[in-house]
Structure 1
Amino acid sequence: MPPRWQAVMITTDEVDQAPLLRTRFTLDDGHGEVTSAVLHVSALGVVEPHLDGEPVSEDVLTPGWSSYEWRLRYVSHDVTARLGRGEHVLGLALGNGWARGRLGWNDGRAFYTGELGAFAQLEITFADGHRQVVATGPDWQARPSAVLADDLYDGQTIDARLREPRWAAADGPETGWTGVHALEFDARRLTEHIGPPVRRHEVLRPVQVTRSPSGKTLVDFGQNLVGWLRFTVRGEAGTVITVRHAEVLENDELGTRPLRSARATDRFVLSGGLDTFEPTLTFHGFRYAEVSGWPGELGRDDLEAVVVHSAMRRTGEFDCSNELVNQLHRNVVWGQKGNFLDVPTDCPQRDERLGWTGDLAVFGPTAAYLFDVSSFLRDWLRDLAAEQAHSPDIAPLVVPDMVKFEENDDVIQARSVAVWSDVAVWLPWSLWLAYGDRDALAEAYPAASEHVRRAETLLSPNGLWDTGFQYGDWLDPDAPEDKASAAKADKGVVATAALYRSARTAADMARLLGHAEDAEAFASLADRLRTAFGKHYVSADGIVFSDCATVYALAIEFGLLDGDLRDRAGARLAELVAASGYRVSTGFAGTPYVTGALTSTGHLDAAYRLLLEESCPSWLYPVTMGATTIWERWDSILPDGRVNPGDMTSFNHYALGAVADWLHRVVAGLSPLEPGYARSLIAPRPGGGITWAHGSLETPYGKLAVDWRNEPGGFEADVTVPPGTTALLRLPDGTEHELDAGEHTVRAATVGQ
């Protein structure tokens, strides 16, 4: 149950930019020791709570971004150990965050509120049961902070001359404060934040400090990351240090063009003493920083980059004998970290940073292997459900859906769109397989079933989803530069295949959850879609309409073909992949499934050749060009070293990293046979000259792991099966072994390379 709220949402009377708010209080006398003290805090904006001059936690950017109209999260902190007798001060530092800052690509801002709001309730319980509540209200005080500007896209400005370090301490200043007033706010919008907080993680030092041709100081951290710079410096009062951030260099200067209108610039004004700066009210996606105004010569030891993302526990590991593949996998991991910052965004650097549903629809299995994303994505799915419930004709393409506030954006306001809207079904099912949480599946079911019902109404009389706007096989590498949806794959084929998968999965969900009528209805819809797909899109000789790699990959992997037709489709897919020179020829919809389709139809060698190709477009091409995250486009950097001239060129997009799921399932060989890995399949498929691989996963039951080696003397696998589970080990020669919990070593004949 949520707390009984006595607090009200407050805002400042006179201070507008990044205000500081506080109240003084003394513990009630005569009730013994404090046995419990819990601070609940939220904001319209972002908030950093302080108690007696010190931060309450390591969290940053609280309470994150949710569908604020219906779900404003609050976070709870246990502060029992910090409350002794005497006077105390509770303080709240505010910033614009997502609620009042810029969002999207049309320079829109303040979509959710025009005034910053703070909400806090400190509940104190004493030994005799007495309760004391300290809550935000009209008696609080406000004053300006040293932050002159803050925006997630544009950056932060801090003037150290204005700092008052004791503002939230009992001996803090008595002057300079003004009043506050209550904001109209319905506390029923408050919901507990079940996901992990955003926190600082790794700290990286520069690998190089150089001068650009124009004389600018450039700092290279060697890794594309998300976060900010932190440093301590001494210089003349009033000196301004300016830091601009970007992911790449262009013509040996800082490459800010791909950021579009996002300024990604922090400014720091020196006090004249020793100043430490850390801009915690913004974040940037960058590898490079351009620093100007630094007093003296900037050295590698003067700065550090702080990596920031949601505090997800790492669960899955992979590596193998091919170092390029290992770097690809590391790029996937860094891409997930950078984009899983409270909301699973498409990119973390330019004027967008939105929770695009299509990215997550295809990346869900990879995400759930690499990190424990159970609560992170369960919270996001609650936002999806809220958006869907309040927009009955629209399945949001981004969640939270800020683009509904934009005018004249008919494409974004389109009704259900295949793959993107299918996240309502595909993602909960991926999480069910990964974690086996029936309650989470049941919670997601209403939105999943609603999507399928809604999409069914969009079918044309021939039973196909070939109507309305579709992104289709977005970013097909053969599409014109300025027409990302102009793919080789027919959009109706893509959409009908995607909806078939959703209907079949929704039927499985309904059956599992005891919704018998729904299960029958969805299964019937799936059958009709499958029949219509075969009738209109598949010829007698197995040619799928539009005859390109994506349509075969989807038809095979989603189960739309059987028997001889499936075999022919697999053979045709292998032909097309070979004809492309084993370079990637699929877009957003097909790429996550093409290696799996080749593998399951007996073309493992072609799948490995596709994976290991190094020329553009391919997964390893960016690696050979120095990528440290997954790119949005295969050619975000062109073979001649120039940055792609398009205006949609991100260097940190996780979606194409969904191939890591194939690395985990096929190369390492780990996948669930039962939800939550109660029973696992361990089935490594060596190939491509890879002589060894390691995969491990912290399942809900414990560690599942495999280490295999394929050497002239034989194939050998060391396997760990978690307690309370069993596994089926399927060796490359087809032999199978039933394994109980524990450690096992199994040997077989060498697999041909």
Structure 2
Amino acid sequence: MRIKNLKTNRITNPLGFDLGRPRLSYVAYDTNAAKQTAAQIQVALDEEFTNSVFDSGKSTEIDSLAFELPITLESYTRYYWRVTVWADNGDEAVSNAAWFETAKLAEYWDAKWITPDFDKEIHPVLTKEFDLSKEVVSARAYVCGLGLYEMEINGVKAGDEYLTPNFNAYDKWLQYQTYDITNLVRVGQNSVEVSLGNGLYKGRFGFEGGENEIYGDQYAFLCEIVINHADGTTSKISSDDSWKARTSQILFSGIYDGEIFDANAKDATTYDVKELDLGYDRLKARLSLPVVIKEKLKPIEVIKTPAGETVLDMGQNMVGWVQFKTNATKGSEIVLQYGELLQEGNFYQDNLRTAKAEFRYISNGEESVVRPHFTFYGFRYVKVSGWSGELNKEDFTGCVLYSDMDQTGSIETSNPLVNKLFLNALWGQKGNFLDIPTDCPQRDERMGWTGDAQVFSGTAAFNMDTYAFFSKYGYDLAQEQSSQDGMVPMVVPMATVKGGGSSAWGEAATVIPWNVYLHYGDKAILEQQFDSMKGWVDFIKRADEASGSKRLWTSGFHFGDWLALDGEDPNSPMGGTETAFISSAYYCYSSMLVAKAAKVLGKEEVSEEYEQLSNEIRNAIRAEYFTSNGRLALNNQTALVVALFIDLVPDEHRKRLSNDLRERLKKDKNHLKTGFVGTPYLCRVLSENGNNDLAYTLLLNKDYPSWLYAVTMGATTIWERWNSVLPDGKISGTDMNSLNHYAYGSIVEWMYRNVAGINPVEKQPGFRHVRLAPQPDYRLKYAKATLDSAAGLYESHWELNENGKLTFKFVIPFNATATVELPDADVENVQMNGKSLSEAGVSASQNGKKVQVELHSGTWEFEYIPEVDYIKYYSTHMPLSELAANDEVKNVLAETVPHAAALPEEMITNLGHQSLRELSHMPFMPISAEVLDNLDSKLEKIKVVVQ
């Protein structure tokens, strides 16, 4: 047995974070044991664990998902910790040491806020020189710089992160970072240089082109360097008016417009700095994960466009920047412009709106490796101008920048397009999880839209360890919300967008923390966010009561089913679902999530109050929108999906509504018409309500509108619109058209939950227990997923062979259990690990058409011939479009029903979602039942071949 993934607050070896009451987690693996019987956590001030500060002893109460450390933390202190685990088979293991280090905590700041004493538009470099005469044991720098900063000690960058102090509501709180600079300082003379850039603090940022100086109008810097010497003494270097400033080689920086760097502009003239009275009340040790270079890509091609441009193709829509090596002549200017796509083969930026998205470098004639400092770009293509001589793509490197999260999930199927769709969603997360969950990373927006974050949060938590990321975002959301009387803003941080209160967007306050709790099993996220969760529902409740306490939410502005395709007005992005229905549904949903969170936290009375509120809302919705026979007054995809997902429909009418959704899709030619509200739940609702075949149909559609349409068009991320790019390659519009917008990537949660079948369970969150319930379909030959969960590594793999046999392989980690649900199975016919279920000695039962098996950790394999034939043959019950797509079938049709075989392509396109039997009643194509039965006898010999 071995132990890995030692994390504090789900961060590996956090330095200088605000940890509150530290929560320790770990994963034991590589053992045949099933259960942890005991564990011991030891904490010390040294790696040898001789200076102990805590020892739990051998305990049966330690939970590997989250053990709250019951000690009072000291400032400026590194704590080492390790865990010993005992298992039920006698295995025992001791982990390597992990650590966490506190920042200043409540220590007084000696440092002063300073700013350069020259024009506020000039980018500064702040400097300080100091001497050290004694050996250094350790050195730390505690730093905050506004808007953005990078610090060098003796010419070497401190830390490996960028865009500090990150993005948050600066008017509410300011994060400071801690750097271990032990290896950067030296005995003798030392120098500190800090470059400052605008960022969203004082640069252009915000909606509709943005504003300048949103949070401040001056650069500001705060720093304390604490150095511990071998003789036990301490030196401290603090920012004050003894520091100096000089003008930077960075002439301009902006999040949207890029950066101008003049290597010749090295002016040794020094200027005074002056102190600023920004106070210390807003200062807080960091919550943000470091934004780091997680990957590096090389260009796949140098393109010479029809317009004569030189363009690098990175092969992937990515976020970060391109670093390049140059020895250009002195004074020459190299310009890099960033864009997402080509148009007519030429470089294109119009969909970036007012964002220039460029980098200008003026050479000093020396060989240099060049990169921007205070900006980032969303791009696949880079236009290079001013390059002397032949451009060598090896001189360029794409630096992929995002918050330092571990990837935890992966999916692979027999369909390469589906695999690409998964990767596109993953890349969308990489590109938009840059400290805040942005809507898009490239145009003049890049804002933390709450709705986008909410709908994608489940997928995000499968793909990566997002606990710390969402904990920081939740903290920021609550800070903004606290000044809005419970209203959740449209974006966090609010920046220039002062409105809010929209359903689905505001649900970021309730849905995200609940998803985080489900995935990681640590109730600390609910403790942190509970007032925010409850505050949001109370805001809605006050709006409800102001409207007469109807237990419906019918007032205020709502985005509705944003960018849905079923709106009456084709120019409106708000979709065709009544906004009051959506808002009332979310009112019901959020109230229930508050009730659930309260129950987890032991707030029983609050739980009962909000559960009752949720039930009252549900009853009011039923009275307003459902007939006594269960018909929903709103007959569109999103309304039906939301009603089923949020459990608004009475149980006795659930099957009716599921059938209504099936009929609705048939009217919509089995293509989606949903927007931001309906899309995340669409396939999940279909699979979980008897329409799994339709869920796969929607997944596998390749024409517009569908997920795979973008894939077939060469997309490498998820698009904002279903038709961001038209079939002829032209962009569909420039007003609001991002090619890296992750919201519709929420389909991936269905792929984890329903295709692969990996589902968290509310009563045992953090994947301590899971429901493994794959739902195969003949159109995929196999699917497999892995999830390195908070409880350990799960694997789920199914395969359908040529003879129609289903095989499943599940890997369940140590100290976890699973309920396996095998579809269309007979308990007498299932083999497990080569034995019948009765011989295998496991708990197995028949539950309707499923076989349910209770399992502990280990590797388990099942096989059986399903009770329903998974190998499909053609028939007259299949959509005409599928019949017409097979040449052998078309020959049979031509022989038997020639008038059907001769239908023009346009008619097949319009009617092809209907079966031949349905169309046989049409006056233009009468076909008798006898002919149809004869046709079926011929078609049933032709197997549907999966591509």
- The bucket for the TM-score relative to the shorter chain is over 0.9
- Aligned twin of 2:205: 103
Report the residue type matching 2:163 in the other structure. L
- 8 A contact 2:150–2:194 mirrored in 1: yes
Residues 287-312 of structure 1: per-residue CA shift (max 9 Å, x gap): 11111111012232232221111111
Report the residue type matching 1:582 in the other structure. N
- Aligned twin of 2:147: 45
1:239-638 equivalent positions in 2, closer than 5 A: 239-392=332-485, 394-404=487-497, 413-414=499-500, 416-459=501-544, 460-461=547-548, 462-479=550-567, 480-485=569-574, 487-638=575-726
Shift of 1:744: 2.0
- Residue 708 (1) aligns with residue 798 (2): yes
- Aligned twin of 1:4: 108
- Aligned twin of 1:196: 289
Aligned match for 2:780, one of 669, 690, 704: 690
- 8 A contact 2:210–2:496 mirrored in 1: no
Measure, in 2, the Cα distance between the counterparts of 1:284 and 1:546: 42
Report the residue type matching 1:84 in the other structure. R
- Aligned twin of 1:725: 816
Shifted more, 264-273 versus 376-385: the winner is 264-273
SS at match of 1:245: strand
Structure exhibiting the larger radius of gyration computed from Cα positions? 2
Measure, in 1, the Cα distance between the counterparts of 2:576 and 2:604: 39
TM-score (norm 2): 0.75
- Aligned twin of 2:30: none
- Aligned twin of 1:187: 280
Measure, in 2, the Cα distance between the counterparts of 1:481 and 1:35: 67
Aligned match for 1:123, one of 211, 221, 226: 226
- 8 A contact 2:439–2:447 mirrored in 1: yes
Measure, in 1, the Cα distance between the counterparts of 2:441 and 2:773: 36
- 8 A contact 1:17–1:95 mirrored in 2: no
Shift of 1:154: 0.1
SS at match of 1:81: coil
SS at match of 1:103: coil
SS at match of 2:393: coil
- 8 A contact 1:125–1:131 mirrored in 2: yes
SS at match of 1:82: coil
Report the residue type matching 2:686 in the other structure. L
Measure, in 2, the Cα distance between the counterparts of 1:163 and 1:227: 26
TM-score (norm 1): 0.95
Shift of 1:28: 5.9
Shift of 1:9: 1.5
- 8 A contact 1:435–1:700 mirrored in 2: yes
Shift of 1:82: 3.4
Report the residue type matching 1:482 in the other structure. N
Report the residue type matching 1:730 in the other structure. E
Aligned match for 1:752, one of 851, 859, 870: 870
CA RMSD of aligned residues (A): 1.6
Change (3 A) 1:574 1:233: same
- Aligned twin of 1:217: 310
Measure, in 2, the Cα distance between the counterparts of 1:2 and 1:592: 43
Shift of 1:7: 1.2
SS at match of 2:224: strand
Report the residue type matching 2:870 in the other structure. G
Shift of 1:667: 0.6
Measure, in 2, the Cα distance between the counterparts of 1:423 and 1:688: 36
Aligned match for 1:19, one of 116, 124, 142: 124
- Residue 154 (1) aligns with residue 257 (2): yes
- 8 A contact 1:608–1:688 mirrored in 2: no
- Residue 658 (1) aligns with residue 746 (2): yes
Shift of 1:213: 2.4
Shift of 1:393: 6.1
Runs of 4+ aligned residues of structure 1 deviating over 4 Å after TM superposition are: none
- Aligned twin of 1:236: 329
- 8 A contact 2:487–2:539 mirrored in 1: no
- Aligned twin of 2:157: 55
SS at match of 2:159: coil
Shift of 1:201: 2.1
- 8 A contact 1:217–1:290 mirrored in 2: yes
SS at match of 2:686: helix
Which structure 2 segments of 5+ residues have no match? 1-104, 826-849, 872-947
- 8 A contact 2:166–2:288 mirrored in 1: no
Shift of 1:2: 4.3
SS at match of 2:799: strand
Residues 110-132 of structure 1: per-residue CA shift (max 9 Å, x gap): 10111111111112223454332
Shift of 1:73: 0.8
Measure, in 1, the Cα distance between the counterparts of 2:225 and 2:289: 21
- 8 A contact 1:225–1:286 mirrored in 2: yes
Measure, in 2, the Cα distance between the counterparts of 1:270 and 1:124: 37
SS at match of 1:567: helix
- 8 A contact 1:609–1:688 mirrored in 2: no
- 8 A contact 2:259–2:375 mirrored in 1: yes
Q: Which has the higher contact order (CA 8 A, sep 6+)?
A: 1
- Aligned twin of 1:407: none
Measure, in 2, the Cα distance between the counterparts of 1:518 and 1:308: 42
- 8 A contact 1:261–1:350 mirrored in 2: yes
- Aligned twin of 2:181: 79
Shift of 1:560: 1.1
Measure, in 1, the Cα distance between the counterparts of 2:486 and 2:323: 46
Measure, in 1, the Cα distance between the counterparts of 2:113 and 2:702: 55
Residues 377-405 of structure 1: per-residue CA shift (max 9 Å, x gap): 1011111111011121632110001124x
Measure, in 2, the Cα distance between the counterparts of 1:386 and 1:588: 25
SS at match of 2:226: strand
Measure, in 2, the Cα distance between the counterparts of 1:749 and 1:91: 70
Aligned match for 1:135, one of 238, 245, 249: 238
- Aligned twin of 2:12: none
- Aligned twin of 1:737: 853
Shifted more, 671-680 versus 741-750: the winner is 741-750
> Percent identity over the alignment?
35
Measure, in 2, the Cα distance between the counterparts of 1:251 and 1:374: 43
Measure, in 1, the Cα distance between the counterparts of 2:127 and 2:720: 44
Report the residue type matching 1:268 in the other structure. Y
Residues 431-489 of structure 1: per-residue CA shift (max 9 Å, x gap): 0000011112111100000000110111233321122211111101234453111x221
Shifted more, 661-670 versus 225-234: the winner is 225-234
